[in-house]
Structure 1
């Protein structure tokens, strides 16, 4: 049994939410060496590193696994936004069960399946944290009427803009997972005009809240002030960067050895015939194939012929059937179990469709 004491310095899990257009993506771009998984295409105007826009839940998870396998690519992984990613998750769950919507499962089971899948997603992000890479999840905010059971009346409060019926399950899960939950908003004050007998809003400064309030959710574990300017410099001192460049050690060469190297180089400085090995270009995927499936095929290096052969082995469609002619629900199912499809292609095993 190992017992440790003291502060453990690790990568940070940050959730940042706020209204649309307030600058969440720009703020996230200030984190150390970020790379974006842009689920909604909001980083087009930013000069940042980004992966292809995920068109399926499977593709999103594969991109995260790629970062885990190649931690040298970045110091911060940004999923922008988690509420758009949630819709990919719901589509994936419905495709696997051949359902039209999350409520088709009955008895609220669809929401339970989503909560379990989001839990596995957060576990995958924990593997990113284990590689000393910060993780930032951005989200939109929504106003919801809230009524406390021990008080009379109701009031508005800001919450993560997740599914209307899933927010009571998914939102707490994400907030519990995070080390820091930040709420960005415009600070306004109301001034009463005696002439018009009306109130007028003034201000509009962008600020960020770091602690809980009856009107919003926020938290931090670093003793940050309750209200700080919406600028990365306000939290930069608590965000680690484990990928800072380390000066390379310099090597010294003895002069005698150096002169000997020059002499040997002069003798062997002759052209050497080498055989250039060229890698064949990847086969172009038919643009008529559904984009979520085409994206996975491109990322995995799977050709149309390889996929058609695998599908034909199960007896669903003849090998000569073009992939673009597959039914839409069948394609969605293939996307949802892509890991198994890929394993079957590589190992030539039976594909457990159960479609």
Structure 2
């Protein structure tokens, strides 16, 4: 391809999004991903028995995962979306491959964190394969993960604080954060109220409203963000798609 002035284009590039959704168990992450248009699942864990969606058999090795992606890349099919359930069960498959190749039974035995550094290449290869599905087949990508609470050190504050993040090694989280167009934290909507606890005392209790939210904007309490200027939404594919479409087609503001 010749790169000269005639090759320059302008405008928003509307491509299928690369989405990561994480949150607590049983909140509906798999249902959300399976609701993507014409979806097919690449599974690293059990848990889709009660969801009517096409899926490959549960992958037992890292090579199984890449084989499923390669099948979608090369074979004729009518799937428009693919979801990986889940990234935190994919991580042991990645570490297991490294252990086999280095003749150890535990990643820590490689020493000095070298095993996790080796894992970076396998994570990037995995996401490169998913990029191929997005770029060459126009498929929407959804990756699911569970959550954990990490201690955040902020040099601008006098004290550290807790925040939700993906249940993965921090090196993997950094790679995922760079790759994804959208990282959404799924949670139950919670309100607090004061109630009488006796002896003229009150205590604060958390009460769920029953609604489930998908937070896609940065917040000190959790890892999240998106490249479209999209607002937080309900944890349903219909609401998510509506919000994403509005953000992707919104006119660019100029000053």
- Aligned partner (choices 145, 148, 151) of residue 154 of structure 2: 148
| CA drift at 1:145 | 2.1
Q: Tell me the residue number matched to 1:178.
A: 180
CA distance in 2 between partners of 1:228 and 1:133 (Å): 22
1:134 aligns with 2:140: yes
Q: Tell me the residue number matched to 1:18.
A: 23
Q: Secondary structure at the match of 1:202?
A: strand
| CA drift at 1:118 | 0.5
| CA drift at 1:34 | 0.3
The answer to whether the 8 Å contact 2:234/2:240 transfers is: no
Q: Tell me the residue number matched to 1:211.
A: 217
- Aligned partner (choices 184, 188, 191) of residue 189 of structure 1: 191
The answer to whether the 8 Å contact 2:41/2:83 transfers is: yes
- Aligned partner (choices 58, 72, 81) of residue 63 of structure 2: 58
- Aligned partner (choices 225, 229, 234) of residue 223 of structure 1: 229
The answer to whether the 8 Å contact 1:71/1:133 transfers is: no
* Pairing 1:1-355 to 2, within 5 Å after superposition: 1=3, 2-70=7-75, 72-130=77-135, 131-162=137-168, 166-167=169-170, 169-196=171-198, 197-204=202-209, 205-225=211-231, 227-237=232-242, 238=244
Query: Gaps spanning 5+ residues in structure 2: where?
Result: 246-255
TM-score when normalising by structure 2: 0.87
CA distance in 2 between partners of 1:218 and 1:10 (Å): 20
CA distance in 2 between partners of 1:74 and 1:108 (Å): 39
Q: Tell me the residue number matched to 2:253.
A: none
Larger radius of gyration: 1
Query: Gaps spanning 5+ residues in structure 1: where?
Result: 240-355
| CA drift at 1:203 | 2.1
Which one is further off, 49-58 or 213-222?
A: 213-222
RMSD of aligned C-alpha atoms? 1.4
CA distance in 2 between partners of 1:71 and 1:100 (Å): 39
| CA drift at 1:71 | 5.3
The answer to whether the 8 Å contact 2:164/2:222 transfers is: yes
| CA drift at 1:55 | 0.7
Change (3 A) 1:125 1:95: same
Q: Which has the higher contact order (CA 8 A, sep 6+)?
A: 2
Which structure has more strand as a fraction of its residues? 2
Q: Secondary structure at the match of 1:141?
A: strand
Q: Secondary structure at the match of 2:154?
A: coil
TM-score when normalising by structure 1: 0.63
| CA drift at 1:190 | 2.0
| CA drift at 1:72 | 2.4
CA distance in 2 between partners of 1:187 and 1:50 (Å): 30
Q: Secondary structure at the match of 1:86?
A: helix
